[in-house]
């Protein structure tokens, strides 16, 4: 596989994790202004993207296929849970 094709596949594989991270952080800034403002933008996006990437990689390793619905369900649940913990939303 050529290098540019491999990069394209990798970017398409990680796109859901990045999109979810950006949307969650933006939603946090809209709905939980005080907690999210204190945390900034870059650090939570990087944290959530890392967690999401790990979930997607684990989904491929466990299920043997990319794009399975249990992987995406786990992605949403785990990334949202980490964001909830990051914002200390239980307070």
Determine the Cα–Cα distance for residues 83 and 88; give it in Å rounded to an integer: 8
pLDDT score, position 23: 96
- The answer as to whether 18 is a domain residue is yes
23 token code pair: 């949307």
The residue segments making up the domain with residue 72 are 3-86
Residue 24 lies in a domain: yes
Q: Does residue 22 fall inside a structural domain?
A: yes
Question: Quick check: 18 and 41 in contact, CB under 8 A?
Answer: no
Please report where in the chains the tokens 């650090």 appear, as a residue.
43
Q: For residue range 60-78, what is the model confidence (pLDDT) as tens digits?
A: 999 998 889 999 999 999 9
State the chain's mean pLDDT as an integer: 91
39 in a structural domain: yes
Q: Residue 84 contacts by C-beta under 8 Å, 6 or more apart in sequence?
A: 90
Domain contains 91? no
Per DSSP, helices labelled H in the chain are 3-31, 33-39, 42-63, 69-86
Q: How many domains does the chain have?
A: 1
């Amino acid at each position: 596989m050529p290098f540019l094709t491999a990069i394209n596949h990798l970017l398409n594989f990680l796109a859901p994790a990045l999109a979810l991270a950006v949307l969650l952080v933006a939603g946090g800034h809209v709905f939980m202004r005080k907690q999210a403002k204190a945390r900034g933008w870059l650090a939570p996006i990087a944290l959530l993207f890392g967690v999401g990437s790990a979930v997607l990689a684990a989904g491929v390793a466990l299920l043997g296929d990319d794009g399975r619905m249990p992987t995406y369900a786990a992605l949403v649940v785990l990334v949202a849970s980490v964001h909830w913990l990051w914002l200390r939303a239980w307070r």
